[in-house]
Chains A and B, each alone.
Chain A
Amino acid sequence: MADVPASPPPADDSDGQLLARFAAGDRSALDELFVRYRQPAFRVAYRLLGQEADALDAVQEGYVKALVNLDSFQGRSSFKTWLMRVVSNAAFDLGRKRGRRTGISLDAGDPDADVDPGLTTWDDPARGLGNADLRRALDAALATLPDAQRETFVLHADGELSYKEIADVLGISIGTVMSRLFYARQRLKLSLTEQATP
């Protein structure tokens, strides 16, 4: 049974050093990589799946795939960005299998169209909502986003990736990242407002 360190290791080996140790058979290196990135990985999976158990499954699958396929990423991005991408994919796959968060198809037309970024009359969407209610409202709002927008938004907001990191792992331009984030926020605001309106 592997012990889970309570906090990140003080030695602060780089990801590359930890991966080298892992490749050499040092199981504790995996423990350190797990502690280092489990929280953003979990947050990404949770936002995409909306359920803790499923999110942990996605994290598990993401770590396994990321480590099994290390050759696919090395030299192109950091382990963190690679992991977030794999976890995100795992979450989408799991969501499809289990029928959650179907969202809007990317083929459903221009997802960026017809969203007015200048509306000023919306009420505060958080008004009257408790934390759990607000989380559920945000989950529901996220589920209305097209897959590409949702993934980009979650990688940024919960995976804590920069525009460049997102662009690298998704194979898109920084401008596209910016555009997806802009419209994702507009749509989220609109959805939250609609939910908060009696």
Chain B
Amino acid sequence: MKSNDGHDKFVRLAGYVDGELNAADRSAAESELTASPEARAALDIQVEMTRTSPLWAKAGIPEPSDAAWARTLNNIHAALEPATPAVNYRTQRSAGRWIGVAVAAAAVVFAALIFFPVGNEGDGRPLVADALTLVGADEVAIVSVQGDDAQAIVVGRPPLAGPLDLATVGDTVLDVIVIEGSDAPLKPVVPGKDPTKPIIVNPADKTTPVVP
């Protein structure tokens, strides 16, 4: 609402309820409130809509889970790593099937190999012409553990004899690939007939896929 002189008549009431006015403006606002029922009505609305009002508190925002926070932080770390590959993994949140198992032993990682379909898809059968390694064993971080209430998982006695298979095809989902500089996300195609067999690569030779 604007007054006849073109100035916003009650705008300072926002600053009044937020405690943002200097002494002179606060005094002017109080005079206005004393004299004008309209000003008092406007003030009521300002008070009701402040961040400290019961209304706002009642409509509070749900808090993300610890796993969601951890995943976000890890993604930030990964994005800020100098050697971060130009591929981002977006985990599938809704189904909760992106399961990684955290272990105490450091540097336990796994690699996923994916394959792009090439050729004519018109016959309904994706053709896989070549394998493309998008990430190495040391470039994938485990970001969350889901299920159960375990705070720690015992994996053996150090030193560990070799790499651990931390996930299988059945509990790892790669749902989208985003390549920097491209607006179109790619749908991964991961061939594998037996979902119970792992697609883990040997960390010592990350170009060698073990695909069922």
B10: A residues at CB distance < 8 A: 117-118, 182
Chain B min CB distance to A159 (Å): 10
B83 within 8 A of partner (CB): no
One of A12-20, A53-61, A72-80, A88-96 at the interface: A53-61
Q: Is chain B's interface secondary structure helix, strand, loop, or mixed overall?
A: helix
The residues in A between 115 and 162 inclusive whose CB is less than 8 angstroms from any CB of B are 115-120, 125-126, 131, 134-135, 137-138, 156-158, 160, 162
Chain A min CB distance to B26 (Å): 13
Specify which of B1, B72, B102 is in contact with A117 (CB 8 Å cutoff): B1
A82 within 8 A of partner (CB): no
Interface pair A163/B61, CB less than 8 Å apart: no
Interface pair A118/B58, CB less than 8 Å apart: no
B129 within 8 A of partner (CB): no
B157: A residues at CB distance < 8 A: none
A53: B residues at CB distance < 8 A: 93
Interface pair A1/B142, CB less than 8 Å apart: yes
Specify which of B48, B55, B68 is in contact with A134 (CB 8 Å cutoff): B55
Interface pair B64/A118, CB less than 8 Å apart: no
The residues in B between 74 and 103 inclusive whose CB is less than 8 angstroms from any CB of A are 74-77, 79-80, 93, 102
Chain B min CB distance to A146 (Å): 16
CB-nearest residue of chain A to B144: A1
B13: A residues at CB distance < 8 A: 117, 182
A27 within 8 A of partner (CB): yes
Specify which of A56, A117, A183 is in contact with B68 (CB 8 Å cutoff): A56
CB-nearest residue of chain A to B94: A53
Complex CA–CA separation, A3 to B70 (angstroms)? 7
Interface pair A30/B49, CB less than 8 Å apart: no
Q: Is chain A's interface secondary structure helix, strand, loop, or mixed overall?
A: helix
Interface pair A120/B41, CB less than 8 Å apart: yes
Interface pair B49/A116, CB less than 8 Å apart: no
Tally B residues with Cβ within 8 Å of A. 50
A156: B residues at CB distance < 8 A: 18, 51
CB-nearest residue of chain A to B81: A27
Interface pair A116/B60, CB less than 8 Å apart: no
The residues in B between 1 and 50 inclusive whose CB is less than 8 angstroms from any CB of A are 1-2, 8-15, 18, 20, 37-39, 41-42, 45-46, 48-50
Contact with B along A26-51 (1 / 0, CB 8 A): 01001100100011001100110000
A117-B42, A185-B48 are known contacts; what are 13 more A-B pairs with Cβ within 8 Å?
Answer: A1-B142, A30-B80, A34-B69, A38-B69, A56-B68, A64-B76, A117-B9, A126-B55, A137-B59, A156-B51, A157-B51, A178-B11, A182-B10
Give 25 pairs: A residue, B residue, CB < 8 Å, sorted on A. A1-B142, A2-B70, A2-B74, A4-B69, A27-B77, A30-B73, A43-B61, A46-B61, A64-B80, A117-B38, A117-B45, A118-B39, A131-B59, A135-B60, A157-B56, A158-B51, A162-B20, A163-B15, A163-B20, A174-B20, A182-B8, A182-B11, A185-B45, A185-B48, A185-B49
Q: Which residues of A contact B (CB under 8 A)?
A: 1-4, 27, 30-31, 34, 38-39, 42-43, 46-47, 52-53, 56, 59-60, 63-64, 67-68, 112-113, 115-120, 125-126, 131, 134-135, 137-138, 156-158, 160, 162-163, 174-175, 178-179, 181-186, 188-189
The 10 closest A-B pairs by CB, nearest first: A118-B38, A185-B49, A117-B42, A182-B14, A157-B51, A135-B59, A134-B59, A181-B14, A120-B41, A182-B11
